[in-house]
Chain A
Amino acid sequence: MSTASSSPGVGRLPDAFLSPGTSSFADFLGDVAPDLLPARRSLPPGSAAELAPHGTTIVAATFPDGVVMAGDRRATMGNVIAQRDIEKVFPADEFSCVGIAGTAGLAVEMVRLFQTELEHYEKIEGSTLSIDGKANRLSALIRNNLALAMQGLAVVPLFAGYDQRAAQGRIFSYDVTGGRYEETAFHSVGSGSMFARGSLKKLYRNDFTADECVTAAVQALYDAADDDSATGGPDLTRRIFPVVHIITGDGQHRMADSEVATIADRVVGARMQRPDGPNAALT
């Protein structure tokens, strides 16, 4: 497993493990086992964009008690639906989660690295990172992936968490160079994001309850799926519905499938009457 074997004694922990220094798991891996880092691989020249499935739309919206993140369930490879029940929203730690759009394989690996990174820091330092610290660490991981992104294997996450100091939910978006942008109220990434964002613009209110916030997110994903072929809508025959995570001051949890199904059924029921979704007031 480890490439470091500089110290004597069979089975003895290599010196790098015992030397004081970084609290970052990614930095540590970079020193002792760089081959495990997703970004340290080199590809032959040319585009690799068509090689692997892509994940699509993620939305996040804040409400007074926290923040909600939801993702559709489709992964596409060109014109083919590669997977119809993929999960693209993951818990990052107790008070944050991360949703991914872009090359699915790399994105999932990056999420695993990010999860380990946060837990590692927490165990070594005995305290958790601030939400800005977490957002910056994710930024660094994405920046390391720039070479792969330029060959078509981009990963674009959306990060949301509960800021315990400010007692509010916060959302961060990223670009492929690792640029980090804090969003107010709501945001969306992925191929259907412009439709989802347009939808949320009309639906969002800042006094949502958690259920209303989830409903708005499901509506936005429905609108994205309506106009973007790479985003999956609610699958009523297979009962596959968006993955929804809710983060409040009590921590983050994934909403039970049955609860999401209830909300999605209500959304779909209303769309039977008006396929374009709820009417917003004109002025």
Chain B
Amino acid sequence: MSMPFYVSPEQLMKDRADFARKGIARGRSVALVQYADGIVFVSENPSQALHKVSEIYDRIAFAAVGRYNEFENLRIAGVRLADMRGYSYDRRDVTGRGLANAYAQTLGSIFSSGGEKPYEVEIFVAEVGDQAADDQIFRLTYDGQVADEQDFAAMGGAAESVAAYLKEHFTPGLPLDGALRLAVAALGHTETDQRTIPADDLEVAVLDRTRTLPRKFRRLNGDSLSGMLSGA
């Protein structure tokens, strides 16, 4: 019988964290910005079919970076959990906090269990309230940590330079087109240059609290998106 080499728990966790972090940094970033009537999500994603931002429930949206199959799994689990909760209780009883907790427990136990490879994902769970002050944004990392975000947030790829740009230029109470242009500029910003991402390569969605329907999630594309980007 062969004896395994001893690996200290610290080293083991560090290795797993490095592994997950590398996977997440490989992709492109997702940014979200709070505006006067809701939250706008922007990512550079040329694919029309494989979404990084999607609807979970009436007021709750999901955005993710990292390995597609892994965050797609989490997204479907979230839709199932939310629909089941809304069906057995009431639509109002489905909350972003409950969902973020379930994701945190799931990611955390996958990260620390020896049998599974850690998920190489980072996700946002965002919920719009009746007023901007009631909006909630949660950031969940590969190890199940939850952080509360305010005003704006970025993850994946060169998240730090995107977040730095947002921090410098964000003002509260922006209109939708202003917030959208800010997020797009931030995604195109690196320390050395500033590129303009074409509208066709953007995936944009909003949680819009002014919508009369209970479902506040809406995708922006085509002419309405390019119109907003050009400021027309």
**Distance A174 CA – B87 CA, assembled complex (angstroms):** 24
Partner of A116, one of B73, B74, B83: B83
Interface of B is mostly: helix
With both beta carbons as reference points, the residue of chain A lying nearest to B70 in the complex is identified as: A18
Knowing A9-B105, A18-B73, A20-B76, say if A25 contacts B81 (CB, 8 Å): no
How many Å from the CB of B171 to the closest CB on chain A? Answer: 33
B105 touches A13 (CB 8 A): yes
A17 touches B80 (CB 8 A): yes
A11 touches B105 (CB 8 A): yes
- A221 at interface (Cβ–Cβ under 8 A)? no
A12 touches B73 (CB 8 A): no
**Distance A128 CA – B206 CA, assembled complex (angstroms):** 19
A123 touches B79 (CB 8 A): yes
Most buried by A among B77, B85, B86, B113: B77
B52-95 interface code vs A (CB 8 A; 1 in, 0 out): 00111000000000000000011011011101111111000000
**Distance A119 CA – B83 CA, assembled complex (angstroms):** 9
How many Å from the CB of B114 to the closest CB on chain A? Answer: 12
- A271 at interface (Cβ–Cβ under 8 A)? no
Within 8 A of B (CB), among A217-270: none
Q: Which residues of chain A are near B85, meaning CB under 8 Å?
A: 1
Knowing A13-B81, A17-B77, A17-B80, say if A112 contacts B106 (CB, 8 Å): no
**Distance A2 CA – B102 CA, assembled complex (angstroms):** 13
Q: Which residues of chain A are near B83, meaning CB under 8 Å?
A: 25, 116, 119-120, 123
B74 touches A18 (CB 8 A): yes
B55 touches A13 (CB 8 A): no
Q: Which residues of chain A are near B106, meaning CB under 8 Å?
A: 9, 12-13, 18
Q: Which residues of chain A are near B101, meaning CB under 8 Å?
A: 11
**Distance A120 CA – B86 CA, assembled complex (angstroms):** 11
Interface size, A (range): 20 to 34
Q: Which residues of chain A are near B77, meaning CB under 8 Å?
A: 13, 17-18
- B51 at interface (Cβ–Cβ under 8 A)? yes
- B109 at interface (Cβ–Cβ under 8 A)? yes
A12 touches B105 (CB 8 A): yes
Q: Which residues of chain A are near B215, meaning CB under 8 Å?
A: 119
Most buried by B among A20, A32, A126: A126
Q: Which residues of chain B are near A25, meaning CB under 8 Å?
A: 80, 83-84, 87
B102 touches A1 (CB 8 A): no
B88 touches A36 (CB 8 A): yes
Partner of B84, one of A2, A10, A18, A20: A2
Q: Which residues of chain A are near B80, meaning CB under 8 Å?
A: 17, 25, 28, 120
- A113 at interface (Cβ–Cβ under 8 A)? yes
- A150 at interface (Cβ–Cβ under 8 A)? no
- A45 at interface (Cβ–Cβ under 8 A)? no
A25-59 interface code vs B (CB 8 A; 1 in, 0 out): 10011001100100000000000000000000000
A interface vs B, CB < 8 Å?
1-2, 8-13, 17-18, 20, 25, 28-29, 32-33, 36, 112-113, 116, 119-120, 123-124, 126
Besides A18-B77, A126-B49, 8 new A-B residue pairs in contact (Cβ under 8 A), listed by A number: A1-B89, A9-B105, A13-B106, A18-B76, A36-B87, A116-B86, A119-B215, A124-B79
